[in-house]
Structure 1
Amino acid sequence: MDRRNLLRTTVLGAGAVALPFTTWSAAYAAPAQNASGPYGPLQPANGHGIQLPAGFTSQIVARSGQVVTGTTYTWHDAPDGGAVFANGSGWVYVSNSETSAGSGGGASRILFNSSGAIIGASRILSGTNNNCAGGKTPWNTWLSCEEVSLGRVWETHPLGGTAVVRPAMGRFKHEAAAVDPDRQVIYLTEDESNGKLYRFIPDTWGDLSSGRLQVLVAGTGTSGSFSWAAVPDPDGSPTVTRSQVSGAKSFNGGEGCYYANDTLWFTTKGDNRVWQLNLADNTYELAYDDNLVNPGPAPLTGVDNITGSTFGDLYVAEDGGNMEICLITPGDRISVFLRITGQGSSEICGPAFTPAGDRLYFSSQRGTSGSSSGGITYCVTGPFRT
């Protein structure tokens, strides 16, 4: 059985949201390289200003400052990290708001029925600051992360419930979280030029109220082995967490992260890289580096949020760049999946697939206006390979 079919069998047997490929092919000695996309070239921009491959369409789901269609709820400003949760025969899309508490902050949700029609919308977190990215848990909560100094992780409940702060997960400039149910840990990125990669080990799996925070320790190269060391003071005061452990490896602007089958992928915007942690043997390497694409030019810059499809492709969104979502295949080939035109002062955030893998949600944080009040949340449908 080939790697992709093995993955699909594993995913379908688990009855869960599908996850990307297990490890990258050993046949390739370099990070992902340019190639034609699996869906063909981009077509001219549609009425939403989005260039998509043939057969794909887009729709606007919500706009910042406007009431979500079919509801009484006004969509938040600056939509950022997001995720999709199964909800009976339908689903829920959750989105953070990267604004201050005084401007709303927190996170919201939109509920869809089985045909993708909106049936509700509401806030699930308020009074928090610069909620950037986060992560989805197997027990159907959304970890909403504050991207501020001494920021916190908030555990929210997209299917109903009251949000709770989780201080044991550390106070630092949080970006994204990825849950590893195999090791029963949660990985956390830090958006600093000398940020670190952390993991949180709950005392009881499924309960994030207490546990241990650790930081990745490794050499200064782009590949090698790694280990984990305890962070003595997760509160980050008076010494910030990233400065507490000698030998902790620095990453230039940690952004999105995504876990599947013994592998963690995470992005660093400061150097336009996608990193890969091979957790089965505690080694790390580069999955993508814009300086190592040959021949160029590199298709992916402003590397930010990351997610995976049922087929095993990674989808990486740009903060700036050409306002693209790029696709990296299990064969280590990268191409542009979509491009948003006329929104050069924005960034693409929150890409997330429905459980069936046939719809991709994402936002343009500042839309055509370049302002946080101009955010637009989209859905793309089409013949995604599953």
Structure 2
Amino acid sequence: MVSLDRRSFLATTGGVLASGAALNTLGAHAAWAAAGRSPSDPGEVGYGELRRTAARNTGEELLALPAGFSYVVLGRTGTPMDDGTLTPIAHDGMAAFRGTRRHTARLIRNHEVRTPPGSPVGRVHVPGSARYDELGVAGTTTLEVDLRSGEVTRHFVSLNGTIVNCAGGRMLGDRGWLTCEETTAGPAQGWQRKHGYIFEVPLDGPGPGSPAASMPLTAMGRFSHEAVAVDPRTGYVYETEDDSGKPDGFYRYRPRNPWKLSDGGVLEMLKIRGQDGYDCREGQRMGARLPVEWVRIDDPDPDLENGAPTCTQQGLAKGGAKFNRLEGCWWGDGSVFFNSTSGGDAKNGDPPNADGFVEGYGQVWQYIPGRRDGGTLVLVYESPGRKALDSPDNLTFTPRGGIVLCEDDSSDADADPHPLAPGLTNVNRLIGLDPRRGEPFEFAVNISDDSEFAGACFSPDGSVLFVNNLGSTAATDPPGRTYAIRGPWRRGPL
């Protein structure tokens, strides 16, 4: 195992980076999968066998974890916050920043609320605040957490007036969070305003009762956004798209001013050089290096209500590459790593998409920016089946060179039970990747319900793994929860 010393670790953006060790982990994992190996006995990899574990602060058995690890529940749906509102539903993408005081972390957390316009059920809402859409039901909340006690010291709405806030990414210079709407709904669906945008949530400024003004960054595109990653050298923002059942694109935004994204810029879609409409969803070889060029999206804020072509249609018409359900996105080691939740040749059994593509168990891609050309695209891992990895969503690289993938078991056809979660049909896990052996292993199992894991991120000091249990996106049951997991990280590969 390769580890970073504390000084190197804390010097990186947000305290966590994708080091060469993490890149080596993906390479080892690809070699493991390409060799057609079966997973070893769970006691031989990772941190050993898992066991049902009760939360330290509630006594509920919600997760299965390896021996020596413990957790507390933070920000459960329905619990009161400091601004007088109740914690919303649908806990999704998230990032951890340094807190306002020593030994604290500040979490900015998305809420992918999918209730109707203006619905009060689990809504992210502060009356009288500056909201983009008065009927918006989603947004973000912020938590200040004491890393020693695990207690929440402050908890409040930090952005409202948006809808379906799925994932996002850290702003340049760790100045805050870019939150993404995973939809292109608008007035035709009952909302006051058009949606499908990225919004800024500054780290400093918002406090209890004073959410940030929600202003859409329209030049960054109107499409079904999932996550973003920022190149700290150029300020370019890379964006993933997740429009289920249709081909998706991988985008980059070249801002005029990297420190002020609202000043405008150029939106582009990735294309494989010299090959129109290249299909990355299947038939790919791990490790192959595909040369990249970029095609411009001429109308990044299309008037979809009056029949304008979508950003995806514009990019594909110019030869853009096709992906399937692009989700988690992470910058590190001079590259962007992103997940295709349902790409790959091993199929999950669901009916074909509208264009005939049959979904797989997931892919992990690496985009390497070029200094003199459009860069290079590499498939670094493709799941051979659900036991190894089933539908990767969010991902994070750990301070010690490991990788954590959040599962979102999206298949309706392939039941995925687990012996530690009796009664559940589709069980979701946190999958770790071992940098020494390249083998995937279970680090955590959601034994409370069948909702996905999301938003995995480490505290700035590397001591705590925060992760969300989504819960329902349209009801208060099952509730969304945030977990803070502690344990002997250096005993294993994470």
Is this a same-fold pair by TM over 0.5?
yes
Map of 1:230 onto structure 2 = 296
Instruction: Give the Cα–Cα distance (whole angstroms) in 1 for the partners of residues 169 and 370 of structure 2.
Output: 22
Q: Is the CA contact (8 Å cut-off) linking 2:471 and 2:479 kept in structure 1?
A: yes
Q: Is the CA contact (8 Å cut-off) linking 1:48 and 1:58 kept in structure 2?
A: no
Moved more, 249-258 or 85-94: 85-94
> Structure 2 matches for 1:137-176, cutoff 5 A?
137=171, 138-149=173-184, 151-161=196-206, 162-163=212-213, 164-176=215-227
* Aligned match for 2:118, one of 81, 99, 102: 102
Q: Does 1:240 align with 2:310?
A: yes
Instruction: Give the Cα–Cα distance (whole angstroms) in 2 for the partners of residues 287 and 259 of structure 1.
Output: 15
The one-letter code sitting in structure 2 at the alignment partner of 1:92 is R
Residue 236 of structure 1: how far off its partner (Å): 2.9
> Structure 2 matches for 1:1-386, cutoff 5 A?
4=2, 11-14=9-12, 16-22=14-20, 23-24=23-24, 28=28, 30=30, 33=33, 34=39, 36-46=44-54, 47-68=60-81, 72-88=84-100, 89=102, 90-100=104-114, 102-103=118-119, 104=123, 105-115=138-148, 116-137=150-171, 138-149=173-184, 151-161=196-206, 162-163=212-213, 164-192=215-243, 193-209=246-262, 210-218=264-272, 219-221=278-280, 222=284, 223=288, 224-237=290-303, 238-245=308-315, 246-271=318-343, 272-279=362-369, 282-291=375-384, 298-320=387-409, 322-331=427-436, 332-344=438-450, 346-366=451-471, 374-385=479-490
Residue 24 of structure 1: how far off its partner (Å): 3.3
Residue 12 of structure 1: how far off its partner (Å): 4.2
Q: Is the CA contact (8 Å cut-off) linking 1:186 and 1:199 kept in structure 2?
A: yes
Instruction: Give the Cα–Cα distance (whole angstroms) in 1 for the partners of residues 198 and 439 of structure 2.
Output: 34
Map of 2:420 onto structure 1 = none
Q: Percent identity?
A: 28
Instruction: Give the Cα–Cα distance (whole angstroms) in 2 for the partners of residues 249 and 377 of structure 1.
Output: 35
Instruction: Give the Cα–Cα distance (whole angstroms) in 1 for the partners of residues 321 and 69 of structure 2.
Output: 41
Residue 348 of structure 1: how far off its partner (Å): 1.1
Q: Is the CA contact (8 Å cut-off) linking 1:277 and 1:284 kept in structure 2?
A: yes
Residue 13 of structure 1: how far off its partner (Å): 4.2
Instruction: Give the Cα–Cα distance (whole angstroms) in 2 for the partners of residues 324 and 262 of structure 1.
Output: 28
Instruction: Give the Cα–Cα distance (whole angstroms) in 2 for the partners of residues 76 and 199 of structure 1.
Output: 31
Instruction: Give the Cα–Cα distance (whole angstroms) in 2 for the partners of residues 302 and 286 of structure 1.
Output: 16
Q: Is the CA contact (8 Å cut-off) linking 1:109 and 1:122 kept in structure 2?
A: yes
Residue 316 of structure 1: how far off its partner (Å): 0.7
Unaligned runs of 5+ in 2: 34-38, 55-59, 124-137, 185-194, 207-211, 273-277, 344-361, 410-425
Deviation by residue 1:280-311 (Cα, 9 ceiling, x = unmatched): 582222232222x6xxx632112111111101
Instruction: Give the Cα–Cα distance (whole angstroms) in 2 for the partners of residues 158 and 358 of structure 1.
Output: 21
- TM-score scaled by structure 1? 0.88
The one-letter code sitting in structure 2 at the alignment partner of 1:354 is S
Instruction: Give the Cα–Cα distance (whole angstroms) in 2 for the partners of residues 31 and 236 of structure 1.
Output: 42
Q: Is the CA contact (8 Å cut-off) linking 1:124 and 1:158 kept in structure 2?
A: no
Residue 43 of structure 1: how far off its partner (Å): 2.2
Moved more, 248-257 or 27-36: 27-36
Instruction: Give the Cα–Cα distance (whole angstroms) in 1 for the partners of residues 27 and 146 of structure 2.
Output: 43
Compared CA separation, residues 128 and 38, structure 1 to 2 (3 A): same
The one-letter code sitting in structure 1 at the alignment partner of 2:267 is L
SS in 2 for 1:58: strand
Moved more, 220-229 or 151-160: 220-229
Q: Is the CA contact (8 Å cut-off) linking 1:32 and 1:287 kept in structure 2?
A: no
Residue 28 of structure 1: how far off its partner (Å): 4.8
Q: Is the CA contact (8 Å cut-off) linking 2:46 and 2:432 kept in structure 1?
A: no
Higher strand share: 1
Residue 279 of structure 1: how far off its partner (Å): 3.0
The count of aligned residue pairs is 377
Residue 196 of structure 1: how far off its partner (Å): 0.5
Map of 2:209 onto structure 1 = none
Q: Is the CA contact (8 Å cut-off) linking 2:3 and 2:401 kept in structure 1?
A: no
Once superposed, what is the RMSD of the aligned Cα atoms?
Answer: 2.7
Residue 250 of structure 1: how far off its partner (Å): 1.1
Unaligned runs of 5+ in 1: none
Higher Rg: 2
The one-letter code sitting in structure 1 at the alignment partner of 2:229 is A
Instruction: Give the Cα–Cα distance (whole angstroms) in 2 for the partners of residues 333 and 29 of structure 1.
Output: 6
Instruction: Give the Cα–Cα distance (whole angstroms) in 2 for the partners of residues 27 and 78 of structure 1.
Output: 34
Deviation by residue 1:105-132 (Cα, 9 ceiling, x = unmatched): 1111111235342111110111111011
Compared CA separation, residues 26 and 125, structure 1 to 2 (3 A): closer
Residue 204 of structure 1: how far off its partner (Å): 1.2
Q: Is the CA contact (8 Å cut-off) linking 2:139 and 2:162 kept in structure 1?
A: yes
